[in-house]
Structure 1
């Protein structure tokens, strides 16, 4: 094949692929009704997306060296990524990003069996066909390699340069009339474009989005890691207005018995009555009785590890670009709630009735300072484990609640337990707890009734487990506080649509209302606590720890005093909005910048936070 014919094929395929995806993702008549300037910008974006597709096809040719196999392989890969993204957005309302490929194991376990089977069969069939086609297609002239190398490096190098220079921002500030500067706003910019991932995909196509997002990750890793000076971090923990630090307060209360603290983060626990008033009422009476507020979760339908991250560190997922930090960043000692409680004499335990390597928990919990991690491997031996696994493949919560009760028997030290449950994990298209426990009167599909029955049965079981645990604790003499909350709203898929939970498609996509992130927050204790700080419309997960410490009359470390100051000025720092408090007595803007710097230091910087606070506790 001649070079010209090959390149014509590559260009046509690149354009058709982008146009096909664009037509599928967009309402063309509605788009054409928009102002001409907006339509023109969308066309420019498509042109740039086609160039990226073209450059990637040329890059694949350098590896495969056969024209038709290159086209087949590249477009199948792009189609597969686009398909997976559509499925993820449908189920979890979040786009597929490069960092998700660090979660291959978790994704495979959590995905519906039908979807897993379809993807695996498709990949197997395609690879078989690809190998057969590769052998059949004739080898081509080596002279085609050089021009394809020049095209691939030239085109992709241009877009990489644009990404790493904020789309030639500094250049265009001085030469605004330059040709490229007239189109710079149409260049892919997934890191700084306020429209977000979902709309970026609609405008760019998935291939261009994924390429740009990958470059963002490299750019952030190499160039955008800001090392906050140590003196700035030190200042955060010394500006406490002469407040007593935790160790001094503890010395004054040497005779005081520190209470056990038990956090139970219940998988997908939510108030399903928000779907419809006709649904059965009060199926979780113990949780309802003890509910003090709602937890404002950073996640919807998934992302349990990000909720854990906020509760245990009081850092912020939103300020860290919703990155899954358990997988990508928490690979070194990190100041956290268990690390602080260790200094007060607590015995700290993390529990999860799932595999110890899920979400890197085995390493993460160690870096957070937990004394031990009790996973399903510790709760049941391999021979007996199958009897605790339900139809959906998740372990029943009998295991984890028994582990909590057993651990609380160690009364020599106050106990801190952070338990993450799993039995009510999606998907809900099974009868893991038996069928038809609840009567659904609304006219919805049989599949919706089944899923909702399974989910609500799981809610009811969570309440029963919780009630039994409280009964056990009430019989003991040790002061204990138990905090129960759902990690995020459940992934109920079509149930939400059948019940009209979303007002419109835009709300379904954007989810800019707190109701999509609120889960029940219940607090029980067998000793008097200060509930004043818990009385609010909602409590963001990043502010929960200091509120619980204050409620239990436990002194705050300098770190949590600073977090408390931030909370005094901001009721939430979340993707649905940054809400300020009227009672703030400090410089709000300065405090917000300091909180951002704390996040940067711990996640991407030198981690002076840990060094300073660890040294303080040692001294």
Structure 2
């Protein structure tokens, strides 16, 4: 009997849908619009749900009893039409549930009312999202061949996407992009970094539900489709999925024009107003690098003419070549926490503050917030900007891991430098084990290759270990050395137990929650230890016989609490500020050397793309055309990222259209060069990397 009931589950789904539609039609007649229908359902959720459920159960029971008495259960269950129809019904339910979950997690799972209001406001976008997810679910059913298993798998996948989007938005105020899925193979290294954000009871409950569902699937009748049916249906479904997901220049573009409002210039709004599913689909791009509309061989030749015209203009004459050791010391999440409006029991970075007063120093303008360290490395090592990478694109994973590219590393190799990269974590993260050799490093060390791997916290290798490792390289190598050293100790989570004994720094602030107070204190403790390590490292560098210059900077600001919690509580800024205010991307920049470098003390604000040309010029190395061009570009616009452009002598603007025409022109040439080198036809690569 139980098996007969199980075989009739699709009938129950159909009857439920039938009564829901009766309410929708009746509500539309009564209230006149969908908003009124949903409002009434919100107010009378319990009674309406109970009535629909009871009517559905009674109708379902009567229908099954009739089928059982007439002997129709088995013939209907075995029929091809019934199985296809059942599969489509499952797709619709799974898609509707998943669409609601994905939107709810994006807007804030704690306030489901916001999700309902969103659906009321944008019913056509919700329906379009359901259609897209149903299409994917049906395709999965046709591939697997069993409707319940495929539907369950689809629900799990959609749920994981909603959770991933939720956590990325919470920690980085940035939605999940299609290119983020490239990092699925690196989850083993990513999850420990954010493990504190997971609730074990919820994880256990979800796991238990999956186990129970799997057991029921194993015991109860299934809905299978024959391979001929699957093959016949799969071809058009795959075509539709392809057309709707890569919709540009296809007939499906008309549906996005009618049922969505794509806003690629503002991804926060793009995801909010269209929902995460449509938002993600709108960012499915074949090219990682944004292709300039004007890109062509004649356009590239014209840009090269412009670059040649700017060679040497506004750039000081080369100094006497010193060929010092060069160290890029990129400190994970290093930032001055005293920028927050709270009172600290002590200054967490007194040494660096003093060093910045005595040595060349300025502000490093990161392309990212709260994470994506590899994107900062990309800018610093290639001199190309994340501003022209499609949203969510990660050049390390998507480009540099695939083949060699010219870089600051290869530039120094050509000038007799020994080059080494080190990162105290696994080499699989951001595929650094492939990227570093492709950039030209002679040697690259990860945690298993390092001599010093001591930790000063419960999870990550200490800054001191990295400092000792790079010092050994400088002492052992006879040739001048370039060391790219990335630390990790200050990486989140900032739980109270990160450091044994807790933090030695306490903070107080009006309106500060205990959670934020704990996280700020933990973060400040890490900054204190980084500060002490840099002071020790500088003293050791002063003892070296070879001239050495160290460039110290933080890769990005920290994510202190979910959804900018600590930043909001301390009055530092909210989500909109995080998108448009430079202070969310500014970290300390400090140059230390054991010889008179002659570098001016005020470095100003500088994007990472300028580090290589700036250092090359300052130490007197002969520069190629790209670096000459960028030194001139730095005079026009020393720092920029999406929605934040900081021209040298004007106010910060959100759009390139608000920049002076000369700045727009030089940025267009730069965009041409970046696209041509990274993914274009390389019309001018040889000319760009040629010295005068």
TM-score (norm 1): 0.82
Residue 434 of structure 2 is aligned to residue 363 of structure 1: yes
Q: Distance in 1 between matches of 2:155 and 2:520?
A: 38
The answer to whether the 8 Å contact 1:103/1:359 transfers is yes
Contact map agreement 2:460 2:488 (CA 8 A) in 1: yes
Cα gap change, 1:309 to 1:321, in 2 (>3 Å):
same
Aligned equivalent of 1:576, options 640, 643, 653: 643
Cα 1:119/1:337, change in 2 over 3 Å: farther
Which residue of 1 is the match for residue 485 of structure 2?
A: 419
CA distance in 1, matches of 2:154, 2:114: 31
Match of 2:333 among 261, 264, 268: 268
State whether residues 269 and 486 of structure 1, in contact with CA within 8 Å, keep that contact through their aligned partners in structure 2.
yes
Q: C-alpha separation between the residues in 2 aligned to 1:135 and 1:580?
A: 64
Q: Aligned pair 1:99/2:158, yes or no?
A: no
Following superposition of structure 1 onto structure 2, how do residues 174-185 of structure 1 map, counting pairs within 5 Å?
A: 180=254, 184-185=257-258
Residue 514 of structure 2 corresponds to residue 434 of structure 1: no
1:79 equivalent to 2:159? Answer: yes
SS at match of 1:373: strand
**Cα distance change on mapping 1:134 and 1:200 into 2, 3 Å:** farther
TM-score normalised to structure 2 length: 0.74
- Decide which of 516, 527, 532 is 1:459's aligned counterpart: 527
Q: 1:163 aligns with which of 245, 248, 251?
A: 248
Deviations 1:571-601 (A, max 9, x none): 3331232333459999433322211111112
Q: Tell me, what secondary structure is at the counterpart of 2:326?
A: strand
Q: Any conservation in 1 of the 2:291–2:675 contact (CA below 8 Å)?
A: no
Change (3 A) 1:207 1:138: farther
Q: Using CA pairs below 8 Å that are at least 6 residues apart, which structure has the higher relative contact order?
A: 1
**Structure 2 match to 1:284:** 349
- Alpha-carbon deviation of 1:541? 1.3
Q: Distance in 2 between matches of 1:161 and 1:193?
A: 15
What's the offset of the Cα at 1:607?
4.4
- Tell me, yes or no, if the aligned pair for 2:137 and 2:151 is still in contact at 8 Å: yes
Contact 1:433 1:454 in 2 (8 A): no
C-alpha distance after superposition, 1:134-171 (max 9, x if no partner):
32342436477478647734653541463354964xxx
* Structure 1 segments unaligned to the other structure (5+ residues): 169-179
Q: Offset of 1:274 from its aligned partner?
A: 1.2
Which residue, 485, 491, 497 being the options, matches 2:553? 485
Equivalence for 2:92: 11
Instruction: Report the CA distance between 1:379 and its aligned residue.
Output: 1.9
Aligned match for 1:46, one of 126, 130, 154 = 126
Larger Rg, first or second structure (1 or 2) = 2
User: How many pairs does the alignment contain?
Assistant: 583
Q: Secondary structure at the match of 1:521?
A: strand
Match of 1:321 in 2: 390
Alpha-carbon RMSD? 3.9
1:334 is the counterpart of 2:405: yes
SS in 2 for 1:240: helix
Aligned pair partner of 2:216 in 108, 118, 133: 133
Change in Cα spacing, 1:596 to 1:39, as seen in structure 2 (3 Å) is farther
Counterpart Cα distance in 2 of 1:471 and 1:411: 19
Q: Is the 8 A contact 1:262 1:419 kept in 2?
A: yes
Show CA shifts across 1:39-90 (max 9, x none): 87x3322221121122122212213444444433322321221022111211
Distance 2:337 2:208 in 1: 41
Deviation of the 1:338 alpha carbon? 1.8
Within the alignment, does 1:563 sit opposite 2:630 as a pair? yes
Q: How does 1:136-535 map to 2 (within 5 A)?
A: 136-140=219-223, 142=225, 145=230, 149=234, 152-153=237-238, 155-160=240-245, 162-165=247-250, 168=253, 180=254, 184-187=257-260, 189=262, 193-196=264-267, 198-213=268-283, 216-218=284-286, 229=297, 232=300, 236=304, 239-241=307-309, 256-291=321-356, 292-322=361-391, 323-330=393-400, 331-380=402-451, 388-410=454-476, 412-429=478-495, 430-432=497-499, 434-442=501-509, 444-494=512-562, 496-498=564-566, 500-501=569-570, 506-507=575-576, 511-532=579-600, 534-535=602-603
Structure 1 residue 604 corresponds to structure 2 residue 679: yes
Tell me if structure 1 keeps the 8 A contact 2:147–2:224.
no
Question: Is the partner of 1:409 in helix, strand or coil?
Answer: helix
Cα contact 1:448–1:494 (8 A) shared by 2 = no
- Structure 1 range deviating more: 579-588 or 447-456: 579-588
Paired residue for 1:59?
Answer: 139
Shift of 1:440: 2.0
Distance (Å, rounded) in 1 between the aligned partners of 2:441 and 2:447: 17
User: Secondary structure at the residue paired with 2:475?
Assistant: coil
**CA 352–25 in structure 1, closer or farther in 2 if over 3 Å, else same:** closer
**How far 1:425 sits from its partner (Å)?**
1.5
Q: CA deviation at 1:336?
A: 1.3
Superposed CA deviations along residues 504-532 of structure 1, whole A, max 9, x for unmatched, are: 65426x52211111111111223333444
CA contact (8 A) 1:530 1:553 kept: no
- Asked whether 1:89 is paired with 2:201, we answer no
- 1:242 & 1:442 partners in 2: Cα distance? 51
The change in CA–CA distance for 1:285 and 1:594 in structure 2 (over 3 A counts) is same
Q: Is the 1:312–1:338 contact (alpha carbons within 8 Å) kept by the matching residues of 2?
A: yes
Q: Taking structure 1 as reference, are residues 8 and 223 closer, same or farther at Cα in structure 2, changes over 3 Å only?
A: farther
Pairing partner for 1:112 from 195, 216, 223 = 195
